Structure 1
Amino acid sequence: MKTSTDRILTTHVGSLPRPDDLVDLLMAQDAAEPHEAALLAKRVRESVAETVVRQVETGIDVVSDGEMGKVSYVNYLKHRLAGFGEPAPLEWTPADLLAHPGFLASRRQGSNPVRRDPPACRGPIAVQDRAPLEADLANLRAACARAKPVDAFVPAASPGVVAIFMPNRHYPSEDAYVAALAAAMQEEYEAIWKAGFVLQIDCPDLAMSRHLAYQGLSLAEFRRIAARNVEAINHATRNIPPDAMRMHLCWGNYAGPHTHDVPLKDVADIVWTARPQAVLFEAANPRHAHEWEDLKAARIPDDKILVPGVIDTNTNHVEHPQLVAQRIRAFADIVGRERVMAGTDCGFGTFAKLPPVYPTIAWEKLKSLAAGARLASERLWRR
């Protein structure tokens, strides 16, 4: 994994705006509706090539495929793993939205069709179809050969986040379900690494799930679940070098009050025990922008790379480059310039339909990210 040796490198969390026609094809595939599979594959390949070039031109150093071939960052696994079947309703609603029923009702009126009842686990989890992952890796490899980014990463869901969003109706316990998911995901994790890409494990379960599935638990009980999920990640990645991996910590990529988010300081010590070297986390939105101060007193392991979100992915305001630079420098003051990269709070296309930030504005925000990183580099390296 490339790091900030002589300037602050830029990256993001993974998903980017998808072309409208591609979204239609992905939605049809996800709903098992008639669609042209060959056309879908062609449009994914073309869209990956286009988005990688655009990332490099925008100033993003460590790029992704934009998750062009995925309808969401979790549900894509129903096309790759056996064991998922008839949908089941999620048995929770975010605690912060429950506190504002009128706002919750307004959100449901414009709900995203990708977020309908997800497929549930109805049988043993196992790898079923390797072709989608192989296509993702081939598409990104070809795009990088053309655009020549500094580095590239591929996101993959953590066992814990799958357990939250794809309900267990088969295994005797949640522990058993998470263990089975970790065993199955190991193959995807290792395939990404062996293909020469940085593996990014998406871990909203280490933060967001506190006010979702586990809102009724005490903090101590939730911390035990978070530790279990980190243990599952560590087991599934035991063959991969830490410096070939990064992980994303998230409180939910939605524009809500977020008044029930677990504080970073309450889970950070558990996050540091995960094997991935780099940690991406929200640090730009109004609920978490203050937490850089909490990290001053945190015992951050010397080998960890911090990738704070310096761009909010839930507002159409475009951050000024000077603000971006200020945010970057705040973290560099804590761990040193070489241990900081500049990222985004979350993705710009977490779900294929109804992105929270208008697509052209998302690219403006990434342009500002790159400009802010240049300003921070000039100050940090005294050029």
Structure 2
Amino acid sequence: MTIRTTHVGSLPRSQEVVDFIFARERGEDYDADGFDAAMARAVAETVRKQVEAGVDIVSDGETSKISYATYVKDRYTGFGGDSPRNAPADLKLFPSFLKRIADSGGTPQYARPMCIGEVRSKGQGELEKDISNLKTAMAEHGRQRGFMNAASPGVISLFLQNDYYRTREAYLAALADAMKAEYETIVASGLDLQLDCPDLALSRHMLFSELSDAEFVKIAASHVEALNHALSGIPAEKVRIHICWGNYEGPHVCDIPMAQMFDTLMSAKARYVLFETSNPRHGHEWTVFRDRKADIPDDKILVPGVVDTTTNFVEHPELIAQRLSRFAGIVGSDRVIAGSDCGFGTFAGFGAVDPDIAYAKLKAMAEGAAMLS
């Protein structure tokens, strides 16, 4: 049985797409029809490249979005001003490296407004365009299965911080209620829904560094509770969840271990669980799944990241096959899908990996998965 292939979602955007996105971001005049046409062309090309690389379960590359979390400011009311920037704690431990990143332009530039009013949907029009573009491209290039990313309530609260609701819990609840229709629209279209949840790991050393690990786990559990509320009525088999510790090259010495987040991750109402296992800080954590095999629900499908998204090394297919075989040995090859550690285009116009190399990595991933036939 050949292990299927997918990835986390975002992929490199063309310069035309980036220029349109930032013109809109800066409030400049731009051709709205030209914007829509550029997005449709770019999604078709992105899907073509995924198919050419051997990706089975494709996405639109998050083409039209400024980023995987802050896009909500354009589709929901209640956001304005600017949120404080919190550097990850590991970078603060190495100030010379942090300065080098900042001086080299290695920090994405985009608006992160606060929540300053009631969060309500402006309608699903932009989402429906994204869905149409992806499904059209899938039909054109012969892929039956695709997924679309959406921000989780927790990750929105991480990047677009609360300055309106009485408590953080009330803010999470409002976000869950507001995002519910977006999630349902994606699933109703026939696509799988992917929830991006770096709040379950990255926020440990960005927003909650003063807490103990045990205290943070309680915070993360409340995030999953809000997410599960938003997913009520959606079949778990249509849902993917992605956890990560931050898609950047850095020390990552402050990352909370997977062992401490395992139970929280498994409690999410999602059949597919995507997580990092390729980068040097988390590559060893496949043993958590081995040692907790009895605690992995029978309906869960593991999607380990078998290619790193912060380095331009192209992993050898044999290494990818070795990584996949570990998880196949735990839950069986029918419950494993090959994935990436994170996205290759997390922020528009910003990515550590060269676009051509990103697709070379996906091709190597497909070749590695095929070795386990």
Same fold (TM over 0.5): yes
**How far did 1:111 drift?**
3.5
**How far did 1:357 drift?**
0.3
The gaps in structure 1 that reach 5 residues or longer are 1-5, 378-383
Q: Which amino acid aligns with 2:209?
A: Q
For residues 98-145 of structure 1, give each alpha carbon's deviation from its aligned partner in whole angstroms, at most 9, with x where no partner exists: 000011111112335744451111100010132110100111111111
After the TM superposition, which residues 244-255 of structure 1 pair with which residues of structure 2 at under 5 Å, given as runs? 244-255=238-249
The gaps in structure 2 that reach 5 residues or longer are none
For residues 242-286 of structure 1, give each alpha carbon's deviation from its aligned partner in whole angstroms, at most 9, with x where no partner exists: 001110011100011101111001011111011000100000000
Q: Distance in 2 between matches of 1:170 and 1:18?
A: 34
- 1:56 is aligned to 2:45: no
Q: Aligned match of 2:281 in 280, 287, 294?
A: 287
What residue in structure 1 maps to residue 33 of structure 2? 38
After the TM superposition, which residues 162-311 of structure 1 pair with which residues of structure 2 at under 5 Å, given as runs? 162-298=156-292, 299-311=295-307
What residue in structure 1 maps to residue 324 of structure 2? 328
Count of residue pairs brought into register by the alignment: 371
Q: Distance in 2 between matches of 1:76 and 1:135?
A: 14
Secondary structure of the residue aligned to 1:118 is coil
8 Å CA contact 1:202–1:248 kept in 2: the answer is yes
What residue in structure 1 maps to residue 78 of structure 2? 83
8 Å CA contact 1:71–1:114 kept in 2: the answer is no
Q: What TM-score do you get using the length of structure 1 for normalisation?
A: 0.95
Secondary structure of the residue aligned to 2:263 is helix
Q: Distance in 1 between matches of 2:69 and 2:171?
A: 15
8 Å CA contact 2:138–2:144 kept in 1: the answer is no
For residues 22-77 of structure 1, give each alpha carbon's deviation from its aligned partner in whole angstroms, at most 9, with x where no partner exists: 11111111121222222111110000011112111210000000111111101111
Between the aligned residues of both structures, percent identity stands at 49
Q: Aligned match of 1:110 in 101, 104, 110?
A: 104
Q: Distance in 2 between matches of 1:30 and 1:86?
A: 14
**Over aligned residue pairs, what C-alpha RMSD do you find?**
1.1
What residue in structure 2 maps to residue 345 of structure 1? 341
8 Å CA contact 1:112–1:353 kept in 2: the answer is no
**How far did 1:349 drift?**
0.2
Tell me which stretches of 4 or more aligned residues in structure 1 moved more than 4 Å: none
What residue in structure 2 maps to residue 381 of structure 1? none
8 Å CA contact 1:250–1:281 kept in 2: the answer is yes
**How far did 1:203 drift?**
0.5
Q: Which amino acid aligns with 1:27?
A: F
What residue in structure 2 maps to residue 17 of structure 1? 12
Secondary structure of the residue aligned to 2:308 is coil
